[in-house]
Structure 1
Amino acid sequence: MINEKFARFGTSHQTSWDGRAAANFILGGAGSALLAITVLASWPNTPNWPLLALALSLIGAGLASVWTEIGRPWRAFNVLFHPQTSWMTREAFVAGLIALLVVATIVTGMNLAAGAAALAGLLFLYCQGRILRAAKGIPAWREFSIVRLIISTGLVEGLALLMLADLATGTAYANMPAALLVLVVLRFGAWWIYRSRMLASDAPRSTRATLGLVHRALLGGTVLPALAVALAIAVPAIAAPGTAVAALTALAAGWWFKYLLITRAAQVQGYALGNKLRRGHPLANRA
């Protein structure tokens, strides 16, 4: 491993974003994916409006969390002025589009509006991944594989929330546990790629320790849902509790991962001078 003294990672953690920023990725990612998956599961019928309202509320709560983090909250409107360069601006615009489309779907019942809202939800999730990718000063976020990891994590969360909502209303779909199993495996595969690339780099010990915590959480968030789904299929009498356990463990693992990613795995890059510095005249040690 490269000596941390010359690493592309710094040793100090970013101080701009805290748990409130993490809440935007947690709630907004889950809400946008819930919107998309709800529409897909209901197609060609119009989804139930409470689920649409829940998805929109989660997105709004996430954005409100970021707003409370700003020292001068009214400066938040400045984010609207840079759509050509800022993924935060694009996220805000997509959130507004989602609100309009969700209201249109609830009022008119048009499945075309619902389909457009689902696409906007997926776009919102993509914007969240690109926000992290654009943070060039934080190597743990700028890793290119972070985008598919954020997207796959959000899809797991959205489906898990839909399963829990359906269980609460007694309208569970038989194929949802199998779909959840596929998504958690895809999420763990995306995590494996991301983690392998991070461990192959010059990550400091603090980042490696956090990656270890996340790995155990996502491993549990894959194995436990798989066991719960298998048990629910094998023993129909406990299908509902097994499905609930699968959804809750998958959801909790994703939310814990996002919290750790924002609050504990974001060392700021310092100056990178390289490891070939020599004493004396700059030409003295030329080969």
Structure 2
Amino acid sequence: MANTGDQPWQRVPIDPQSVDAPLSRAAVFLVVTVSDTPEALATAKDVLSGMTDLVKTVGFRDLGARLSCNVGIGFDLWRRLTDSPPPRELHPFREIVGPVHTAVSTPGDLLFHIRAERGDFTFEFERQLLDGLGDAVQVVDEVTGFRYFDARDLLGFVDGTANPAGGDMAGATTVGDEDPEHAGGSYVVVQKYLHDLSSWNRLPVPSQEGVIGRTKVENIELPDAEHGQKSHKTLATIVDETGVEHEILRDNMPFGRPGQAEFGTYFIGYSRALWVIERMLERMFVGDPEGSYDRILDFSTAATGSTFFAPTRSFLESLGD
């Protein structure tokens, strides 16, 4: 076959990962760093190129478990892993310092977002995945999430109500012609929030509803405040200068260990444009207007913060060439 001069990432067809998979009953969020040695990088490439086969290997036992795993690659690893230019907006998570609260930036080369209807499947997949990676990686964060009643967080409110649906999903989450070399991929931001449930539960329900912007039981959207403090729902809604609203896909999951007084929400947002999530976080932590930050942060502390890009399946497979 004649050499066209094209690089592997320029020849592969668009084949998105399972970003649009429905909310699962179980999930694992695994963030690792990759050692800076040729052997470690070779191992990482080999494992990433075989992700589709690993999903099949574990998932065949019960196809109804709907096992999937999305892989996100951080900016620093991207430059070490491949000669492909990084996605246009990809960069390390930028710390956001507000008047009271901070969105911290924490390390992360690879994100594995593992989902299934059964917790034993997410467990087995993670076990085999880490066996394959071996000492090439170091685990920096590992969270096991679960569906809580009717998709509520541990604060008691339904989470993810504003997610795009149907035909709007791809437009909100998938890079297109604006970055053709990375079309079909998605930007991913993750944060682990730890809740002070004791303080939250002392807050009267009407006050909780004012913080969130929805009723607690019925999940009915409340009107936006015309003056003063804006709700979490309002601050997390991004409208550009032309009046166009930009959506992201949230696949948040609650997690916790009551014996350790640990209760939290793992935020994961997929977006076609990284600036959308960044502006959302700036509005939450800095405030709109500045100083009027999201009051949910008085009860929920961001313990981690990392940014990744989830390339196409074909891109991952090409790493093994």
TM-score interval (norm. to shorter): under 0.3
Higher helix share: 1
* TM-score, normalised with respect to structure 2: 0.24
* TM-score, normalised with respect to structure 1: 0.26
Higher strand share: 2
Task: Name which one, 1 or 2, has greater alpha-carbon Rg.
Answer: 1
